[in-house]
């Protein structure tokens, strides 16, 4: 997949999608962009946890209390 194969997405939309994965071996967390995500989807040792609008999620996280931040992060890592 390349940028050219997704002409319906604006550059901003294309750059703001974040895919969160967890390694089934050891629990390591990886956040991938749209182009990297296709490789992780093919690997059974990686579990897809969430797809996020990265900019909005970070903004929401920064505006939240510490308790809400932990809850939001834990919701993704379940």
Q: How far apart are CA 30 and CA 72, in angstroms?
A: 17
Q: How far apart are CA 78 and CA 45, in angstroms?
A: 17
Percent of the chain's residues with pLDDT above 70 = 86
Q: Give pTM, 2 decimals.
A: 0.78
Decide if 15 contacts 33 (C-beta within 8 A): yes
Rounded average pLDDT over 10-30? 86
Decide if 31 contacts 20 (C-beta within 8 A): yes
State the pLDDT at residue 20. 94
Q: How far apart are CA 66 and CA 73, in angstroms?
A: 11
Q: What is the mean pLDDT of the chain?
A: 86
Token representation of residue 16: 């703001």
Q: pLDDT tens, 41-53?
A: 899 999 999 988 8
């Amino acid at each position: 997949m390349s940028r050219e194969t997704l002409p319906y997405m604006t550059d901003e939309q294309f750059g703001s999608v974040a895919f969160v994965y967890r390694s089934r071996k050891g629990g390591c967390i990886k956040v991938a962009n749209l182009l990297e995500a296709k490789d992780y989807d093919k690997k059974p040792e990686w579990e897809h946890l969430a797809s996020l609008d990265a900019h909005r999620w970070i903004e929401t996280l920064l505006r939240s209390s510490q308790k809400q931040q932990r809850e939001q992060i834990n919701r993704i890592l379940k």
